[in-house]
Amino acid sequence: MALDIEALREEFPILKREVDGKPLVYLDNAATTQKPQCVIDAIVHYYSYYNANVHRGAHRLADEATKAFEEARDILASFINAYQREEVIWTSGTTESINIVSHGLAQLLQPGDEVLVTEMEHHADLVTWQQACLAAGASLKAAPILDSGELDIGAFEALLGPQTKLVAFPHASNALGTLNPIKELTAKAKAVGAWVLIDGAQGIAHETVDVQAIGCDFYAFSAHKIYGPMGIGVLWGREELLREWPVWQTGGEMISTVTYQTATWNQLPYKFEAGTPNVADAIAFGRAVAWYQQLNREDVHAHEQALLASASQQLAAIEGLTLVGTAPSKVSVVSFIMAGGHPADIGFLLDRQGIAIRTGHHCAEPLMNRLGLPGTARASFAIYNTQAEVDALAAGLRKVQMMLM
């Protein structure tokens, strides 16, 4: 049975608001998704009824908080098919997750070693490796993309070799929507003995993620991209790697023993969870994933792909508008430029019509330089978006075009 989009929209209170007297058309989901009421309620319930620090308390509230906190970890472990729950590390989001790996990598790399990324990276999956390589005297290489926004697989494979220590790439491009063949890329990287990290920020809400089937070593993602709260995310890593990986931050919880001269580290996952964790948002993240898992994934995918196809067709028909990123396999992201209009102006004029999009280089400045663009306007769709909102975007852009002429 197809999704009941109108019933689903009723679960998102923010979708009822207006902007300048017009119904909100929220098309900035690649930046952050909105939250269903059950996720909001989970946060309020925690702070209202069992707010306490976790793991070491000797009272009822601490026990309840710890139980809910660790149950959320179990939900996430099952969601991505982790080998074991201890591989799920709570972080502040994708950026911190990648930084944990790059911080350790900087201590493991040697001069002459290489890290391979792609030309479509978000800054979080580029600058991190750049700095690790600079610290270690290693080299960073970027596999090129085609003009369509697809990764050049042949060039990617040619850059792999015995000197390649880690390969990182996005599950999907935040700027173009390009969906990468992650299992294929992982297999090619593993064939030369490299570690593989996947930036899953844009993949987690649109594609089924099975880390065992993918074969990667690390997968990083954020709650707020999949209907959860901001400020919480996950680094998944293979247990045997995480066990030996250098620690990220030191402090409480991540230690086993401490003297004034030495310290030893706690077992997984706590080795990488220094300090008081973001308990409320971890619990709410688990609630968001549990809510999402109740939906039929095939229906979700079909709905989002229908919105993408309609938006791509309608926008391509607007004279003077050019789609940027036309890979045949994409998540529901449409980037574009318009003759005579700066992306910022397009975004402003759409906002006055109640339509929320994203503009700029999308934290992918080298990619924009590769494409010869200062930036793009970007509309991105989620499960609660409708065909009527796609139509409103196209109509709104035609109005923008008239204003800019």
pTM (2 d.p.): 0.97
Task: Calculate the CA 324 to chain-centre distance.
Answer: 20
CB atoms near residue 400 (< 10 Å): 24
Residue of 38, 133, 216, 363 marked catalytic: 363
Looking at this protein, which amino acid is placed at residue 336?
A: F
β partners of residue 199 = 170, 220
CA 254, CA 275: separation in Å to the nearest integer?
Answer: 8
Quickly list DSSP for 84-131: SGGGEEEESSHHHHHHHHHHHHHHH--TT-EEEEETT--GGGTHHHHH
pLDDT at 13 over 60: yes
Closest CA to 272 of 135, 73, 134, 124: 73
Helix H or strand E segment including 72:
helix 60-79
Burial (CB < 10 A; 0-12, 13-18, 19+), residue 162, is exposed
State the virtual CA torsion across 61, 62, 63, 68 in degrees, nearest 10. Answer: 90
Write the pLDDT tens digit of every residue in 309-339.
Answer: 999 999 999 999 999 999 999 999 999 999 9
Among all chains, which residue has been given the structure tokens 């339509």? 355
Write the pLDDT tens digit of every residue in 350-401.
Answer: 999 999 999 999 999 999 999 999 999 999 999 999 999 999 999 999 999 9
CA 294, CA 277: separation in Å to the nearest integer?
Answer: 27
Q: How far is CA 297 from CA 204, 288, 318, in A?
A: 12, 15, 32
Please determine whether the domains at 5-30+296-404 and 41-293 fall in the same fold group of CATH. Answer: no
Span 5-30+296-404: which CATH code?
A: 3.90.1150.10
Conformation bin of residue 146: beta by default, left when phi > 0, alpha when psi is -120 to 50? beta
β partners of residue 179 = 172
Amino acid 404: pLDDT? 83
CA angle 251, 253, 256 (to 5 degrees): 95
pLDDT at 1 over 70: no
- Average pLDDT, integer, range 248-257: 93
Residue 363 annotated as catalytic = yes
- Looking at every residue in the chain, the average pLDDT score rounds to 97
Burial (CB < 10 A; 0-12, 13-18, 19+), residue 193, is exposed
Return all residues near 317 (Cβ < 8 A) that are at least 6 apart. none
CA 363, CA 249: separation in Å to the nearest integer?
Answer: 25
For the chain, the structural domain boundaries read: 5-30+296-404, 41-293
Span 41-293: which CATH code?
A: 3.40.640.10
